[in-house]
Structure 1
Amino acid sequence: MPAKQDVIIFHYSFADHNADLILGYRAKVILVYHNITPGHFFRAHGQTGLADACDAGRAALPVIVQRADVCIGDSDYNRAEFPIATGRTECTIPVFYNDHLFRPVAADHERFLRSSANGAVNLTFIGRLVPNKRIDNVIRVAGAIKNTIGMTPRLRIFGKIWDREYFRYLESIVLDLGLETNVVFEVNQPGSELRSALASSDAFVTMSEHEGFMVPLLESFSAGCPVVGMKSTAITETCGPAGALLPTADINAVAGMAVALKRDRDSRMAVIRAQSQRAQAFAEGRTWNKWRMILEDFVPQLRNA
């Protein structure tokens, strides 16, 4: 059982039945809040149980925050959901991500050259297959490239299936738009495959309506893949001045940006350079230094390490 001198780092991103137990210990508690998707996104697609759990998790946040000694949000967007401070320490520390893994290798560059040569507009999406990420609109972007602009899209969607009915809904959109040969769902792929897909794509597309951080944005930055899509929640903060993002979910405009970045090498390289510079703000060493400043108050040995 944790003692008074111990430290618990409590990552919170969903309703946790162990929360009362954890908060009942005498140990110091560092809360790391990754945000919880509001239930209405799931309820709109009949996922009532998941929706209720998300809303319960969000409702419990004020109690957890009041108990914690330090409250960390991995974005300012997440921190904004904390109730008014009562003497505790608050800060923003971004998510750790493996920037080394997502740097493209020579083989990835060769794949990009081959994919560019075939004339298709190669798109990638990475994330859980859940309603708030609006994968339906990502598919519609591919549909606009094919049916409005008149080019051939190749969209690879990487993720995990959380709900079969919602997955069938996504498949129905693919069929309705005539994209059976243009869209591929890639489930539970390793990180090396994600890196290769990003490095050989013309764009990573995000139309998500709720994110607490969105690590695949940084993975795209590291892989040299332009990000196009819609500004929303923490996406705007994570991207900063990088990426090619619109303020609204304009399907045709996002499709047009993806095509433009394929056709115009100078524009593509300008986006990639801005993204590479932005990625430096989330380098592993910088993130660790922020954590170290917090942990030194609890683990004095770190000050001399």
Structure 2
Amino acid sequence: MKPSELSAGLKSSPLLARVIANNGEIQRHVSKILAGILIAMTGWTLGQVVWLTQPAKNEIVAWQAPAIVGGQSNNKQGLSLAGLQAMNLFGVYNENKAKPVVTAPVVQDAPKTRLNLVLVGAVASSNPSASLAVIANRGQQATYGLGEEIEGTRAKLKAVLVDRVIIDNEGRDETVMLEGLEYKKLGDSTSHAPASSTIAKNNPPDTDEQLAQIRQEITADPQKIFQYVRLSQVKKDEQVIGYRVSPGKNPQLFQSVGLQDGDIAVQLNGNDLTDPAAMGKIFNSISELTELNLTVERDGQQHDIYIQF
């Protein structure tokens, strides 16, 4: 087919004729579509450029403990604490059982101490906790019970006898004689009593028997105590200041408890003897007495005397 014939054929086609007639409108629509596509692509490109210029943010993800399913414990090996326990991070507890304390016997014939101590008074009793000693050291006087450390020294009071006390001076038993008495040994017949014993054992056998008889008499009739320890009222400026004590018909009890002739009793079983009515109260209740706690003044110092019967 010749070109002239093809051109004539196209021009005679109704569709082609319509397209040619609307050619301008079609071009406008196509231009709008292409422009929209171009704008969209340009916007997307600009958006990518903007995001690329922003700094990256580090996001922190919260840690979560892995879930433990109880039903799976039988199939998986659990955490063993045996090694951790074997390390004994907090130490090992050892139960220390108290060992019985063995009290060393008192050496009653102990040598005289070289310490500069003065035994002012001694109160011995069948009750160890009631045994007392008044000891002065470098002008400082104090009352001590068994086991107490003497102030200014490392020595402790170990036993109280009638005319002396035994002290434990760093493991060595030593004797402190009552003020005014010369040191002498008690003799081989003396019983070696333990630290918790009283002075009753340091007397000769005859004296012990006499004391036992006296105590039996007083136990049967407490009023008889005043036959062995006599009290005489003492006044000063018409005021009662106490009662002077003196030995009675048998001085054994008087001496054994540490009393001295001329001591002034100011208290008896908690009753103030400077009160004129106090002695009447004591006599009314004397039948009920089983012991006497006597406070006496001697050379300006007070001493506690304990008499048990």
| TM value normalised by structure 1 | 0.22
Structure with the bigger percentage of helix: 1
* Greater Rg by CA: 2
| TM value normalised by structure 2 | 0.22
Structure with more relative contact order (C-alpha pairs < 8 Å, separation 6 or more): 1
Structure with the bigger percentage of strand: 2
